[in-house]
Amino acid sequence: MKHTARAILGQISDIDIRLLQVFKTVVNCGGFAAAELELNIGISTISRHIKDLETRLGLTLCKRGRSGFSLTEQGRQVYEETLRLIGAFNDFRSSIDDIHARVGGQLQIAVFEKNAGNPQSQLHKAIADFSKQAPNVLINLHIRPINEIERGVMDGHYHLGIIPEHRPSTVFSYDPLFHEDMQLYCGHEHPLFETKNNRLSWKSLAQYPLAGLAYHSPNMAVSHRARLIRRANAYDQEGVTTFLLSGGYVGFLPTHYAASFVSEGSLRAINPSRFNYRVNFFSIVRRSPEPNRATVLFKTCLQNAHAIN
């Protein structure tokens, strides 16, 4: 693939970067129609750009038609390379800003879900402070699962991530920020909803099907340690909540997120004094290469905001 691309593409130009950015947006949006609003150009123009890119690369990147949009295997490989190339380009632009002793360019931040509703999180204050000090920086905020955040920070796609503590890596530098309290809940159709469960133990809890996050996280670690039987996988907290509302499962949720469901009577905490745990959140950046000026400034804003809190 690489030899063919070099032979056809030749020297990479601004046009190629533009076409790759269009391709990246189409993939992220899941198709041409969704990307139309994001790119602010018509579907026919997007289609022509993708066709031009395929011609320049000598590859078929995607399938489109009545069955919908999907990437070919070659398209998936090109997408991964596109993320690396655009990430490197943004790093280069930030480095030039550093040379000029200015803070500009773009800042890519990836955050684990349900952050805004956590009263312990002061991310919004950090953003406000950063925006005052670096008004020329375009901030891009991504909500992603833990594994995607770590991978993105590792390959340079994200400059900084905010994740719950689960398994440390020597690749990252960690700074503590805030915490989140988790409790075990069930829906109003579940057998435990109306029963007194103050004597329920972790061992006896194993008889009830659990809905939990499907990737490595504190949620998964706690359920494994307690030997709870996970019968349903979710990929975000909203998915876990949906399973709980069905009445067939128990599951852990952040207390701040579950509060509205509890107040309306659709969820109930199960023996909250026993079935709970606390999660500590950290910011992460790559140790090497050193973070650019904008990332360092944002880290400082995060630390200051949470120190005040």
* Domains identified in the chain, total number: 2
Assess whether 75 and 205 both reside in one domain: no
78: its two tokens? 């090109």
Which domain CATH number covers 60?
1.10.10.10
pLDDT surpasses 90 at 160? yes
pLDDT tens-place string over residues 189-207: 999 998 877 788 899 899 9
**pLDDT exceeds cutoff 50 at 227:** yes
Q: Are residues 156 and 264 in the same domain?
A: yes
Query: How many CB atoms within 10 Å of residue 17?
Result: 14
Q: What is the pLDDT of residue 251?
A: 97
Please name every residue paired with 277 in a beta bridge, in sequence order, or none if there are none.
182
pLDDT at 5 over 60: no
Q: Do 83 and 142 sit in the same domain of this protein?
A: no
Contact 268, 236 (CB under 8 A): no
- Convert the pLDDT of each residue in 164-182 to its tens digit: 998 889 999 999 999 999 9
Task: Return the H-helix or E-strand segment holding 139.
Answer: strand 138-143
Which of the four pLDDT bands, split at 50, 70 and 90, describes residue 2? very low
CATH of the domain at 264: 3.40.190.290
Query: What is the residue range of 83's domain?
Result: 2-87
Whether 96 maps to a domain, the answer reads no
Tell me the average pLDDT of the chain: 88
* Cβ atoms within 10 Å of 132's Cβ, excluding its own: 9
Residues 190, 218 share a domain: yes
Q: Does residue 100 fall inside a structural domain?
A: no
**227 in any annotated domain:** yes
**47 contacts 91 by C-beta, under 8 angstroms:** no
Q: For the chain, give the percent of residues with pLDDT over 90.
A: 58
Q: Quick check: is 99 in a domain?
A: no
| Dihedrals phi, psi of 155, to nearest 5 degrees | -90, 5
Average pLDDT of span 223-230: 89
- DSSP strand pairing (106-111 vs 160-164): parallel
167 and 47 in a common domain: no
Query: Does any domain span residue 98?
Result: no
**pLDDT for 104-148, tens place per residue?**
688 999 999 999 899 999 999 999 999 999 998 999 999 998 988
CA distance 240 to 237: 5
**Is residue 93 a part of any domain in this protein?**
no
Are both 261 and 132 inside the same structural domain?
A: yes
Mark whether 71 and 163 lie in a shared domain.
Answer: no
Residue 297 lies in a domain: yes
pLDDT at 1: 42
Place of tokens 């690749």: 171
Q: Are strands 138-143 and 250-254 parallel, antiparallel or unpaired?
A: unpaired
Domain identity same for 192 and 124: yes
* Pairing label, strands 62-63, 70-71: antiparallel
- 59 with 148, same domain: the answer is no
